[in-house]
């Protein structure tokens, strides 16, 4: 069955370190998204991609970067981790019909703690 | 800009009680509207959606109707079960931006036996 996976599921790191969170989907979806979930804020969009070599900034992109070298993967990098980036991170993907009502499929999340 | 407002939680109900979680939105044009559910320790999954005014989305006994006149998409269920305990997120997708979702803050539902 097609799926979307994230790794690691839990990560503890120190302030200033570079951290990369992996996201891999086997749906063959062109659209991929990264969100962070914080209490009182719901989910906020960090970065998104509509295909290979395409990346776009979301509403909370400062301190994060992504790259898209193939259809299946969209890794999220924290360039220099800060305590404010302690959060739960979700990756999602969707089909490329261009229709706004397409369902997004979410991974299980990565819980990141920055000390 | 576009936004979604949903009722604060937590909502605590007894099993078989009636559930309403309010959701209102602000958007230009005619967005698509969604309810996603997050069970403990899991990612989000689509519960239901509606793409135009007066559409009713339904799934697993949950329903929500797209009300353009009141800019609302309230989630309802006639008889909740303990297994419905989860966080519920209302979201919209702007027709002008390909599949980008804007989420509300989420409402925690706790159903007691």
User: Pick from A45, A90, A101: which is nearest to B43 by CB?
Assistant: A90
Task: Using the structure block, give the residue that is written with the tokens 């939680």.
Answer: B9
Maximum Cα interatomic distance, chain B, rounded to a whole number of Å: 44
User: Angle at CA B57, nearest 5°, toward A35 and A58?
Assistant: 20
In this structure, how many other beta carbons lie within 10 angstroms of the beta carbon of residue A51?
Answer: 13
The predicted-structure confidence for B39-92, as pLDDT tens digits, reads as follows 998 899 999 999 889 999 999 999 999 999 999 999 999 999 999 999 999 999
For residue A106, list chain B residues with Cβ-Cβ distance below 8 A.
Answer: 36, 43-45
A43 contacts B43? CB cut-off 8 A: no
pLDDT category at B96 given cuts 50, 70, 90 is low
């Amino acid at each position: 069955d097609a799926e979307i996976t994230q790794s690691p599921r839990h990560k503890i790191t120190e302030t200033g370190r570079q951290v990369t969170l992996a996201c891999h989907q086997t749906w063959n979806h062109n659209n991929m998204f990264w969100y962070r979930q914080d209490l009182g804020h719901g989910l906020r969009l960090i970065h998104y991609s509509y295909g290979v070599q395409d990346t776009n900034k979301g509403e909370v992109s400062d301190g994060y970067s992504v790259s898209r070298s193939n259809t299946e993967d969209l890794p999220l990098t924290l360039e220099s981790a800060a305590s404010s980036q302690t959060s739960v991170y979700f990756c999602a993907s969707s089909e490329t019909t261009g229709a706004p009502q397409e369902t997004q499929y979410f991974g299980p999340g990565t819980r990141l703690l920055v000390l | 800009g576009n936004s979604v407002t949903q009722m604060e939680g937590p909502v605590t109900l007894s099993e078989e009680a009636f559930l309403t979680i309010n959701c209102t939105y602000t958007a230009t044009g005619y967005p698509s509207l969604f309810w996603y559910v997050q069970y403990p320790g899991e990612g989000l999954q689509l519960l239901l959606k509606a793409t135009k005014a007066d559409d009713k989305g339904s799934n697993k006994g949950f329903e929500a109707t797209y009300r353009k006149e009141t800019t609302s998409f309230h989630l309802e269920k006639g008889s909740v079960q303990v297994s419905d305990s989860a966080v519920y997120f209302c979201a919209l997708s702007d027709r002008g931006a390909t599949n980008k979702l804007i989420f509300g803050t989420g409402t925690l539902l706790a159903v007691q036996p």
